[in-house]
Structure formats: structure tokens, C-alpha cells
Structure 1
């Protein structure tokens, strides 16, 4: 029996529950025990990647027709939560696969799907999502990478940064402005498939970073890279929508990963508080410690509900799915940072040591607050949407004549 009950498994069917059990077993027997070793240096976690491919976990992001299982988001959040509980690199492999291939699944031609998706599903191929630039991150419409159309070929030029797994990818999904569309107002964004071995593609060495070892990030320079129009994903102007769909899924994934890590941190801290004695009694017997754990555990359960609701909203195609994803990511990632900070505090000097998992959890928690839109960006998105909808929403019945004027 685990410390946190799995309330939401009841929403999964029998086959989906088998997947949860399978990933739990992988985490308990292999991924968890090896997590500290994976996190020692920032090289791609090939063993974890191969294992997740061989067991079909990577394939949950892909359609049945190409060898995948086309899992619902409600299942994927449970799998990512399990992985995030023990190993950020493993969880990132799953969320990163979704982020980098979603536009291919949604927008590639049938011929390109047949060529790429089976290999991406079973691990023979990898892709990377090249969106962020030195001057544009969350503000996708300010991208400066350009694609100049000449006949049936695009010439792509620009720089991308913070691109996860670029150094192991066979293909890039590059989001760029199509040159010559500025006269219509906002330049049309397009998404293009670019092979990493193409002439004019330069991928840097991995950039040193604080945490999330096992999934390196690189910078990319594109210098007049020739890309046939048949490798465009979707139509001209579809780049924004394709990127947004991938990002919504990734935000729900980040929330799930952070939630799993928070759960793991509480489990470790609570165990430590039972094992550690201070002033003649267990640390866990102190009321102050119990109150701290109670508050964190309650917030975790609230966040679990928010994440699962966001996943369900995405699965049913709800209009507010993107907003629910922002709320879930904001709450779960900020909560995770707080939980691992307090858990490390409870563990005292032990928690500060490299050979204790909370030190790694503490460093890993930070990126979830930054990647796929920082907490501040999501607050802005949520608040702006709320104010906009309030102008159109039904007025509260306690307002006199529907007015906010004094009376």
C-alpha cells in the first residue's frame, strides 16, 4: 500500500489500468533504483529511452495505425506522474516525445506519417521540437526564424535555443514565419520537418544546466536550409495551432511530472520523519511537522484533481482545455517547488546531500516552473482570459440591477 491512494485509476478502463501497473513496476524495479545514476551527468538517458520504447510507453503518444496505442490524456497523466515520482529524465522522455511528435501526428502528409511515425513510436527515430528562440519563447508570434518559399522549396534561416534532445534527434519540427506573408498583418506561421543532417543545420554541444540531467538541451542554427514543401506540417498559417496543441499537451505533462515528484518528496520526507528521533521522540510526532505534512498532502490532492480535470477536458475537446492546462501547470509546478523545499527542510542535513534523492528533486523541480511557459506567463494567460470572459458572463444575482455602481 502506498502513502497516496490512486483515486483516479477508477476513471480508467481495465486495459488502461494494466498500463499504470506496468509503469509502476518499471519504476519500482528499474527506473527508480537507477535514477540517481542517470542524474549524475547530463548525457541522454539511452537505457531509459530504450526501455520505455520496448515496453510501449513511448508508443502511447502515437496512433494505432502506426504501432502506438493512442492513449487518452487521462491515462498519460497517470503514467507521467508515476515516472515523475522517481525519475525526471524518464518522465521527460515521455512528455518530450509528445511535444516533438504531436505536430507530425496532426499535420504530416500520409506519406510522411508512414515514413516517420513507426520509427518514432518504437525508438528507431527521434524528433525535437524547435520553437523557442533567443528573442521569443512563450510569445510564439514574435518568432524571427523565416522560411522563404522559392518554387517548391523553403529556405529556412534562424536560431533556436533550449531545444531538448536536439543532439539525439533525427528530425526537427521547426516553427517559423513564412516570408512574404507580413502584408496580411500577422506573419503566417508554419511548421516544417527538417532532418538534422541537412546542409545548413548546426546543432551545438549540450548546454550546461542546473538539473534535469539525462535530457540535454542544445542550440540550433539554421542557415538557408532547403526543405521541400511536402515536409510542411499542415497548411500555411497552421504553425501556431499545431504548436499550441503540442504545448497544451506538454503543459499537462509538466503538471503531471511535477505532481509525481511532489508525491515522491512527501513519501520520502514522511518516512524520514518516522525514522528520525529528536529530543527523545520521533520527528513525525511533532505537531509542527504533522501540520506541515498535512498542508502539503492536502494541496497535492487538490492539484491531482486539477491535473486530472485538465486531462479529461483535453480528451473531450473542451473549449477551455488550454486554460485548464495552464491552471494545472501553474498549480502543480509551483506546489512541487514548495513541497520539495519543505521536504528537504524536514530532512535537514541529510536532505542537502547529493546521495539523498531530495537534493535531486529540489533541483529538478525548478524547470517545471519555467518550461512550456513560466508560472508568471500562465498567471497572465489565466487572468486575461478571466477578465475577458467576465465581460460576457452572466452577472452575479446579488448585484443590484446587474450594476456594480454604489447604491
Structure 2
């Protein structure tokens, strides 16, 4: 990568030449199309078909799929770089890529060979779309609170339940529906449901604060029949399939948030060079320099954590889920802070709809909420720390016995 950028390319050094070529192509698309058109895409919350089709045509959507179905089965080390580049200019484009992971992972991992052959090539090429139907009115991060039930019948299941906040619901051809067995609620199941299945309803799109271009809707399932051939994984594997999809999506959310933070700092730093106050450039004031120093340092630190998480995922490390929670928590909270500070630095211009930071500001909030709110990830991380502390090596500074005896 030859171009000079405010944030360096040090995290590209572990990529192979063919992976670097993908990053370069995404950068070109961001310069030519996604960046210049981002404001227009964000004016209405309708599905960004042009962005989706371009990402599919260029093979970027296909990075989530196995080679045997036309994809490239890209490593997470490459995926986070792609999402970061897109997030730097256009949340819609970045969320199309993270949403592809979320909505298709259970199909790739759990569908029968025959069902994969029927569906996955079309998902990879962009001819088909799928949606991930997990969240409900009373259950989100608490998956064990799901009230969508699978009732066993001859040849398959009857599914009844409600789903909420479902991205791509109005454009999806297939839906990955996760629920529990009616006769044994501790057993989780997942199945692939066609949008035209009898008893399956999709609500009108629901307006939201930001993230335009990827609308959401609710679903209603009333005694929807799904054949055995459309179950994903074995009975009882619905929870693990959902967790794997969420794990990859959380890594994607972190990358998208960092991309947006990078873009915000670039915009604020450029403004600081152009704007003059009290007889000198805004960027020559020490207070502004300190703001920029804090933001750049924190973003680079968060990028390093995410790079480690991607490496852990690619290696299959057992503790990757906890570290993904750390990366998602740290990156998304940081993004909200950085975008807010950048908007503050640019003053009234930052608040204008004509200026990109207004859009960045609205989009940043959902990263803190989607795929597990920051508070949920704090609980996940904290529980893991306490669990490991009980078995961890004792600090050599401590004497024998209980610490309450000090």
C-alpha cells in the first residue's frame, strides 16, 4: 500500500499478496463509490441495493463463504481489514458485510450438503439473501429466554413465535430461525425458513436513528412448517450455531466501529489544519493536539486488540469468545467517544447534515447495542475473570493463606 494515510498500514503486514489485493480493491471502491455516495445512501432507510450488488459483484460478499460455493473463505485477519475500510466511509456498506456473516454463518456451518448446494451459491453471489432471526421482544442477549418454540411433527417441525429487530427481513429469501423445543425447552434448534412459508409474516420496516440502508422489521411465525431437511445442525445445536454467528458478528462490529473512529479522526484532523482561530490554525493549539493524540493512541491500541482477536479466531483458540467481547466492548465504546469528540472539535459544522460527522455520530450508537450491549460484554468478561482467578497462579508478592487475613 503506497498511499500516505493518517493511520498506518502496520496491521497489513501479516496479509498475503492476494489478501492485500482485496484490501486495495476495497479502498478503491471507497474512494470512487462508497465514500462519495455515503451521504446519499444515508438519506433514506431503504436497503442499499446498489452497494450490496457492487460488493457482491466484486467478490467482497463472497469472502464469508467457502471456496467450493464460489467464495474465498477469507481469514478474519482479512475480514476485519475489509470492514474497517468500509466503516471508515460508509456504515451501510460495512454492515452489509458484517450482516452477511451473521445471517449466513449458521447455514454454512449447519445445513446439510444438499441444502447448502441449494442455497449457499446464491447467497455467495448475491442472487439470494438471508436474515438471522434470533432476537425477540423479551429476549436478546439472554438467548435462554427465547419464546419461539419448535413442535415436532411428522417430517419436521411446526414453529411458533415472534422475532424483533431483524435486519434484511424485507429483502431476505431465507431466514435462520432459532428457538427451543416445545417438549424440552433446554434444547435449542435452528432451521432455515423460506419467506413464502405459510404462516410466516414480515412487518413493515421500522424507522430507526441511524444505520440507514439496512432496514429492520419484526417477524411473526404461526405454526410454520419446516421439514427435517431444513434443520440446521442436530437437535440441541441451535445455541452453538447462534453463538458462532454472533462471535463473528461481534468481531465485525468492532472492526466497523474502529473504521468509523478512524474516519472521524481523519475528518477532524483535516478540519484542524484548515480552520484558524485566534490567529493560528486550530491544530496548532495544544488542547486540540492533545485531543487528537488521545484519540489516535486509543484507536491504535484498539486496532491491536482486534488484530489479536482475529488471529485467535483463525487459529481456533478456545478463549476467542471472551476476547471478542473485549474487542467489541472496547472498540464500540471508544468509537462513540471519538466520534463525539471529533464532532465537538469541528463545532457547528460537525452538527450539520451536510457534514459527515453528523452521520457518523448517529451510526456509532448502534455498535454499542447490536450483538450484545456493552454492559452484557462487561458481564461476560467479568465472569470469565472471576472464574479464571480461582485457578490462576497466585501472585508471588502474596504470602500463603487467605487474603482476608492480611
Q: Say if 2:42 is the partner of 1:13.
A: no
Which whole-Å CA distance do the structure 2 matches of 1:136 and 1:399 have between them? 44
2:81 corresponds to: 78
Which whole-Å CA distance do the structure 1 matches of 2:224 and 2:336 have between them? 40
Q: Please report how far the alpha carbon of residue 151 of structure 1 lies from its aligned counterpart in structure 2 after TM superposition.
A: 1.5
Q: Please report how far the alpha carbon of residue 197 of structure 1 lies from its aligned counterpart in structure 2 after TM superposition.
A: 1.0
Q: Say if 2:145 is the partner of 1:153.
A: no
Which whole-Å CA distance do the structure 2 matches of 1:322 and 1:275 have between them? 43
Which whole-Å CA distance do the structure 2 matches of 1:152 and 1:178 have between them? 15
Verify the 8 A CA contact 1:396 1:402 in the aligned structure 2: no
Which whole-Å CA distance do the structure 1 matches of 2:99 and 2:127 have between them? 16
Q: Please report how far the alpha carbon of residue 355 of structure 1 lies from its aligned counterpart in structure 2 after TM superposition.
A: 0.4
Question: Aligned to 2:209, what secondary structure does the other structure show?
Answer: coil
Which whole-Å CA distance do the structure 2 matches of 1:311 and 1:243 have between them? 19
Q: Say if 2:43 is the partner of 1:40.
A: yes
Verify the 8 A CA contact 1:395 1:402 in the aligned structure 2: no
Which whole-Å CA distance do the structure 2 matches of 1:406 and 1:142 have between them? 42
Residue 168 (structure 2) aligned to one of 165, 168, 174: 165
Residue 96 (structure 2) aligned to one of 88, 93, 96: 93
Which whole-Å CA distance do the structure 1 matches of 2:119 and 2:368 have between them? 32
C-alpha offsets along residues 15-48 of structure 1, whole Å, 9 cap, x if unaligned?
A: 1111110101110111110000000000000000
Question: Aligned to 1:154, what secondary structure does the other structure show?
Answer: strand
Q: Please report how far the alpha carbon of residue 280 of structure 1 lies from its aligned counterpart in structure 2 after TM superposition.
A: 1.1
Which whole-Å CA distance do the structure 2 matches of 1:309 and 1:163 have between them? 30
Verify the 8 A CA contact 1:251 1:372 in the aligned structure 2: yes
2:110 corresponds to: 107
Tell me the matched-pair count: 403
Q: Please report how far the alpha carbon of residue 162 of structure 1 lies from its aligned counterpart in structure 2 after TM superposition.
A: 0.3
Q: Please report how far the alpha carbon of residue 402 of structure 1 lies from its aligned counterpart in structure 2 after TM superposition.
A: 5.6
Which whole-Å CA distance do the structure 2 matches of 1:90 and 1:3 have between them? 22
Which whole-Å CA distance do the structure 2 matches of 1:120 and 1:242 have between them? 18
C-alpha offsets along residues 322-353 of structure 1, whole Å, 9 cap, x if unaligned?
A: 01100000000000000000000000000000
Q: Please report how far the alpha carbon of residue 406 of structure 1 lies from its aligned counterpart in structure 2 after TM superposition.
A: 3.3
TM-score by length of 2: 0.98
C-alpha offsets along residues 180-235 of structure 1, whole Å, 9 cap, x if unaligned?
A: 124xxxx2011100001111111011101000000000000001001001100000
- 1:233-312 → structure 2 map (5 Å cutoff): 233-312=232-311
Question: Aligned to 2:400, what secondary structure does the other structure show?
Answer: helix
Which whole-Å CA distance do the structure 1 matches of 2:309 and 2:60 have between them? 21
TM-score by length of 1: 0.98
Residue 143 (structure 1) aligned to one of 139, 146, 149: 146
Q: Please report how far the alpha carbon of residue 403 of structure 1 lies from its aligned counterpart in structure 2 after TM superposition.
A: 3.7
1:333 corresponds to: 332
Residue 28 (structure 2) aligned to one of 9, 21, 25: 25
Question: Aligned to 1:391, what secondary structure does the other structure show?
Answer: helix
C-alpha offsets along residues 330-379 of structure 1, whole Å, 9 cap, x if unaligned?
A: 00000000000000000000000000000000000000000000000000
Which whole-Å CA distance do the structure 2 matches of 1:307 and 1:41 have between them? 31
Which whole-Å CA distance do the structure 2 matches of 1:129 and 1:287 have between them? 48
Which whole-Å CA distance do the structure 2 matches of 1:401 and 1:158 have between them? 55
C-alpha offsets along residues 102-141 of structure 1, whole Å, 9 cap, x if unaligned?
A: 0000000000000001000000000000000000000011
Question: Which structure 2 residue ranges, 5 or more long, are not aligned?
Answer: none
Verify the 8 A CA contact 1:154 1:226 in the aligned structure 2: yes
Which whole-Å CA distance do the structure 2 matches of 1:181 and 1:367 have between them? 34
Question: Aligned to 1:218, what secondary structure does the other structure show?
Answer: strand
Q: Say if 2:63 is the partner of 1:57.
A: no
Question: Aligned to 1:33, what secondary structure does the other structure show?
Answer: helix
Which whole-Å CA distance do the structure 2 matches of 1:350 and 1:20 have between them? 31
Q: Say if 2:388 is the partner of 1:393.
A: no
Q: How large is the Cα RMSD of the aligned pairs? A: 0.7
1:357 corresponds to: 356
Q: Say if 2:207 is the partner of 1:208.
A: yes
Which whole-Å CA distance do the structure 1 matches of 2:392 and 2:235 have between them? 34
Question: Aligned to 1:147, what secondary structure does the other structure show?
Answer: strand
Which whole-Å CA distance do the structure 2 matches of 1:243 and 1:251 have between them? 12
Q: Say if 2:178 is the partner of 1:194.
A: no
Which whole-Å CA distance do the structure 2 matches of 1:290 and 1:141 have between them? 48
